[in-house]
C-alpha cells in the first residue's frame, strides 16, 4: 500500500478530529442535565466546530458543560489552523526536520506550493494567530468588565472563547442570541470585526502586509494575491453593508439610530463572509437581503485563511476570465498581471463544483425537509458550504436526514470540492496522443 496523498492525509486528519469530538460530545459529562446528546447531534456539532462553521442544533452556552464547551473550543481552534498545520507545528517545535513528503502536505494545506520552508511558515502562522487571539481576548475582557456584572472568570472564559471563535471565523457563541445583545455596542462590534477580517484575509496576506509596511525602497510592493484578497474583500463588505442598509431600512433596521444602522449593516456584511456571528435577526431579513448574503457566503474568505467558501481570489479570477472573454482578450488580467491558464482552469473547476454541490444539496434538503421554503433551504446549505454558520432559524428543527446532509456539506465546504476530487483521483496522466479538433456550438 502506497503513501497517502497530501489531500488524503488532510481529509483523514479532519475525519479523526471529528470522530474524537463526536465521541466526547456524546458522553453524559459533556452536556448538562440527565440526558446526553444523540450521536447525530454530536456528529453535527463536532463537524461544525472542526470545520469552523458555527451551525448548531443545541445552544452552546446552555446545553454543554465546561467540558463540552472546551472540546468545541479545541475543535474550532484546531480546525481554523488546519489539522495538518497543527501537527506539523509540533514536529517543528521538537526540532525534527520535515521530510519532503511532509512539506508537500503542509504547502498543500495552505494552498501555497511556492513556499520552501513550511517550518518557518507554520511557526509564523501560530505566532500571528496567538498574538491576535490574545489581543482580542484582552480587548473583549476589559470591555465586558466595564459593561457587564459578570465575574472575572466568567468574563475571561467568554472573552477567550469569542476571541478565538472570531479569529477562526467559527461563529460559535456562548450567548443564545449570538451577539445580538451587543448590537449597539461599537467596541464589541469593532473588536469582533477586527478579528473576523484578520482571520479571513489569509495568513500569507497578513505576512505580506507586515513585510510591506516594514520595508522601504523599490522592493516595497504587495503580491498579486494580497491585492486581490484585500480589494475583493473590501468591495464585497461595502456592497453587502450598502444593500442591507437600503433593503432593511424599514424592516430590521427600523427604529435604530443611523449610527446603529450603519454598525449593524457593516457587521452583518463582514460576518456573512464566513464568520457566522449576528447582531441582526437573520430570520427576519427580507428575501433580497438573504439572497445577497447567500452570494457573500458562497464567495467566503480568502485563500490560506481560517474561512471557507470558494474564496475571494477564485471569484476574482473567474470574473477576470469572463471579462477577458467579453473584451476578446486571450489572457485574464488583474492589476496589470496575467493570470496563468492553470490557475484559471482550477478556479473554474472550484466555482462549478461548488455550484453543483450546493444545487444538488438544496434539492435533497427541500425533499428531506418536506418542502421547506426554497430561499431558507438554500441559505442553510450555502451557510454550511461556506462554513459561515448563519441560519434563519431552521437548524434546530431539522430531521436526521437534513442534519446528515448539512454535516456532509460542512465537511466538503471546509476542505473544498477540488481537494476532495484530487484525493480520489488517479495520478497525473500525460496524454500520449491528441485527437483532432472539431468546433461545437455553445451558448
For the record, the C-alpha cell of 203 comes out as 495568513
Checking if the pLDDT of 427 tops 90, the result is no
Distances (CA, A) of 316 to 294, 397, 419, 436: 17, 37, 20, 33
Which one has a higher pLDDT value, 80 or 93?
80
User: Quick one: pLDDT at residue 155?
Assistant: 96
Determine contact, residues 46/407, Cβ cutoff 8 Å: no
Residue 64 has what DSSP assignment? Answer: B
Whether 415 is in a domain gets the answer yes
Look up the pTM and report it.
0.89
User: Quick one: pLDDT at residue 1?
Assistant: 44
Whether 432 is in a domain gets the answer no
Checking if the pLDDT of 35 tops 80, the result is no
Burial label for 149, CB within 10 Å (0-12, 13-18, 19+), is: exposed
Which range (60-69, 310-319, 333-342, 420-429) has the least confidence? 420-429
Find the mean pLDDT for residues 376-402.
91
Domain count, the chain: 1
| Mean pLDDT, rounded, of the chain | 86
Who contacts 284 (Cβ-Cβ below 8 Å, separation ≥6)? 251, 252
Rounded Cα distance between 10 and 25, Å, is: 23
Can you say whether the dihedral through the CA atoms of 296, 302, 303, 304 is positive or negative? Answer: negative
Residue-wise over 263-279: b if at least 16 C-beta within 10 A, else e?
Answer: bbbbbbbbbbbbbbbbb
User: Which residues are 333's β-sheet partners?
Assistant: 338
Residue 334 is inside which H or E element, if any?
A: strand 333-334
Find the mean pLDDT for residues 278-286.
92
Q: What region, left, alpha or beta, does residue 254 occupy, with left being phi > 0 and alpha being psi -120 to 50 degrees?
A: beta
Whether 428 is in a domain gets the answer no
Whether 172 is in a domain gets the answer yes
Whether 219 is in a domain gets the answer yes
Rounded Cα distance between 274 and 302, Å, is: 10
Find the mean pLDDT for residues 246-268.
93
∠ CA 35-40-43 to the nearest 5 degrees?
105
User: Quick one: pLDDT at residue 142?
Assistant: 96
Query: What CA dihedral angle connects 141, 145, 148 and 150, to 10 degrees?
Result: 80
For the record, the C-alpha cell of 289 comes out as 437581503
- 3-state class percentages of the chain: helix first, strand second, coil last, to nearest 5: 65, 0, 35
Determine contact, residues 183/227, Cβ cutoff 8 Å: no
Whether 438 is in a domain gets the answer no
Task: Give 147-168 as a DSSP string.
Answer: H----HHHHHHHHHHHHHHHHT
User: Quick one: pLDDT at residue 306?
Assistant: 81
Whether 382 is in a domain gets the answer yes
Find the mean pLDDT for residues 194-203.
90
User: Quick one: pLDDT at residue 404?
Assistant: 95
User: Quick one: pLDDT at residue 83?
Assistant: 61
Checking if the pLDDT of 376 tops 70, the result is yes
pLDDT band at residue 383 under the 50/70/90 scheme: very high
Whether 441 is in a domain gets the answer no
Determine contact, residues 84/106, Cβ cutoff 8 Å: yes
**Domain, as residue range, for 221:** 6-423
Amino acid at each position: 500500500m502506497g503513501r497517502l496523498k497530501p489531500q488524503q492525509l488532510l481529509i483523514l486528519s479532519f475525519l479523526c478530529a471529528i470522530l474524537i469530538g463526536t465521541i466526547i460530545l456524546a458522553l453524559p459529562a459533556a452536556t448538562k442535565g440527565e440526558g446526553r446528546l444523540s450521536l447525530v447531534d454530536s456528529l453535527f456539532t463536532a463537524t461544525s466546530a472542526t470545520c469552523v462553521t458555527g451551525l448548531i442544533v443545541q445552544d452552546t452556552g446552555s446545553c454543554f458543560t465546561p467540558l463540552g464547551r472546551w472540546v468545541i473550543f479545541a475543535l474550532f481552534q484546531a480546525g481554523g489552523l488546519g489539522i495538518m498545520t497543527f501537527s506539523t507545528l509540533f514536529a517543528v517545535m521538537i526540532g525534527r526536520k520535515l521530510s519532503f513528503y511532509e512539506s508537500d502536505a503542509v504547502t498543500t494545506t495552505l494552498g501555497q506550493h511556492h513556499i520552501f520552508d513550511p517550518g518557518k511558515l507554520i511557526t509564523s502562522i501560530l505566532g500571528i494567530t496567538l498574538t491576535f487571539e490574545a489581543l482580542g481576548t484582552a480587548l473583549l475582557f476589559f470591555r465586558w468588565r466595564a459593561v457587564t456584572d459578570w465575574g472575572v472568570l466568567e468574563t475571561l472564559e467568554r472573552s477567550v472563547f469569542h476571541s478565538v471563535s472570531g479569529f477562526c471565523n467559527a461563529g460559535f457563541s456562548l450567548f443564545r442570541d449570538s451577539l445580538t445583545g451587543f448590537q449597539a455596542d461599537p467596541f464589541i462590534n469593532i473588536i469582533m470585526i477586527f478579528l473576523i477580517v484578520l482571520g479571513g484575509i489569509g495568513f500569507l496576506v497578513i505576512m505580506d502586509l507586515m513585510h510591506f509596511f516594514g520595508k522601504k525602497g523599490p522592493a516595497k510592493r504587495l503580491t498579486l494575491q494580497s491585492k486581490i484578497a484585500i480589494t475583493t474583500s473590501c468591495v464585497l463588505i461595502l456592497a453587502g453593508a450598502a444593500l442591507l442598509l437600503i433593503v432593511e431600512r424599514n424592516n430590521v433596521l427600523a427604529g435604530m439610530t443611523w449610527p446603529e444602522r450603519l454598525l449593524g449593516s457593516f457587521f452583518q456584511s463582514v460576518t456573512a463572509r464566513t464568520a457566522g456571528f449576528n447582531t441582526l435577526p437573520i430570520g427576519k431579513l427580507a428575501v433580497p437581503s438573504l439572497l445577497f448574503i447567500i452570494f457573500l457566503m458562497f464567495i467566503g474568505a480568502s485563500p490560506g485563511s481560517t474561512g471557507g467558501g470558494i474564496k475571494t481570489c477564485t471569484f476574482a479570477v473567474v470574473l477576470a476570465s469572463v471579462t477577458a472573454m467579453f473584451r476578446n482578450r486571450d489572457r485574464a488580467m488583474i492589476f496589470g498581471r496575467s493570470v496563468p491558464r492553470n490557475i484559471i482552469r482550477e478556479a473554474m473547476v472550484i466555482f462549478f463544483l461548488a455550484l453543483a454541490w450546493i444545487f444538488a444539496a438544496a434539492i435533497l434538503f427541500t425533499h428531506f425537509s418536506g418542502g421547506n421554503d426554497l430561499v431558507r433551504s438554500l441559505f442553510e446549505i450555502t451557510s454550511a458550504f461556506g462554513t459561515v454558520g448563519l441560519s434563519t432559524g431552521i437548524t434546530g428543527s431539522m430531521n436526521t436526514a437534513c442534519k446528515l446532509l448539512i454535516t456532509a456539506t460542512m465537511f466538503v465546504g471546509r476542505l473544498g470540492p477540488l481537494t476532495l476530487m484530487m484525493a480520489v483521483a488517479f495520478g497525473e496522466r500525460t496524454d500520449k496522443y491528441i485527437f483532432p479538433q472539431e468546433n461545437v456550438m455553445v451558448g
